[in-house]
Structure 1
């Protein structure tokens, strides 16, 4: 190698890192310029960050109550540690824990089996409507119950389901049937909860699926029509397969919330006569925490519930990915 070549290699070797550092510096400045350019968007995001910091991440500090015997006068830090005693009491000594666990799981399974497919079916039906005015009116009517709180809806349901003056029992009596106290009979209470939850949320749940339906390539339907496929076969072989990724993601979220059986709904609709079939984890925590001030036990219950939900999300995500669909992670 000549002296000239050696000098050239040496210079190039020494000078290579300089453009790299300069490029990184330039990239950093470019990123900061983008941040500065979008500063007003970050200002708009600030209230959301503050809300999550206060109400989502701040309460994590109180998880330690699950492992303490909380004394309100001593505070969280001054209360003595008891280890796993609160969990042992819940699992082995509490007379109500396994009952509310059973009720919660059963109600959630009913919601998954009957409530989860409902917005999918309704979204497909909306997608088949060709009259835009009728479609908009139907969508608005199905969305409306979502914006009413369960406090309002529970009052309406108590009126229309009353065994003496309710319109439902009035119609049943016209057909010679005996009146039923849907909200006070243990045999019908869970059924009433599931049907009313579907009625309230089915319209709102269609929004995501309708957005997914809009993204389906219309050429697929045109090719199916050319092959002689009717509407049912188009739905079966085009619409549903294209919806599967969205369905998989929503299913993961739904299974992760299997221990959430609808606190607002149950709290406003149940009565002492249906506690044995309607009392769920959230209402149990509410009674124990607010009425009896058993903060350590209720924190242990909440922590147990969140751990189970997290584990179910990971398990469902794994199974969905194994089936060939996209998961969350």
Structure 2
């Protein structure tokens, strides 16, 4: 497959903080590439580098050209933050973006694809719910029927049913050949949608691969999670066949098989440890995240100093960026 997106040794600094530290990656035509990482890791900065909305050191190409030279009708961008004109309806907002292109989809059809129809389409954008606003922005990013779609936290604020509907839409677009570059704080979203995943930490890509390959390489073993308010010595519970550690109010038994669960329960009983629940889990992307960043996924979502320094992550994007990006 042709490489639609290419970044080579991309660097970007904000003052003394290096947001991107020599990032190199490529995305093939028709691929869905998911980017994850803690707040301040540089995810939004990388999206801006690939769309030509921030200057960087290194080489970047989109559809074989410098991002600034790409036909804007071929690119769609949904920024993390969006500040449209206040007195527009959802339909007027998407119609505005449709009018920027020589050829565009019917705005009502684009809105219907994301579940904004009837009275909702005629409502002032400012009066829509957070999820409805986000879905309207997705419609604006799709109205030009782009070949390459950049989505920075696309389902933020959208309810579970709306998220699944949007996932179905994105899967349909990918099946039709659209290349999607996605950042997300939803591991379920990334695991479901992405052909490959990149983990960015402190401005550097620490792992890239299919979800299955990343889990196999970095996810660790299956484990038994024990919910308890007790505070036992984990070493006293291990019997040589499995290890025990703690994470918050959970005891984590590793190195055992489902057949060993009874032995784990007996070890808890022998130690006088009362527990509320037992859960058998297989490793997933959250375990990969923990292994490679040293922190839980939830902890990585909290603001930190690096996130504050990453101006691109926090500044409101101009209204025009919801469509093609560089107007």
| Higher helix proportion (structure 1 or 2) | 1
TM-score w.r.t. structure 1 length? 0.26
TM-score w.r.t. structure 2 length? 0.26
The structure with more radius of gyration: 1
| Higher strand proportion (structure 1 or 2) | 2
* Higher relative contact order structure (alpha carbons within 8 Å, sequence separation ≥ 6): 2
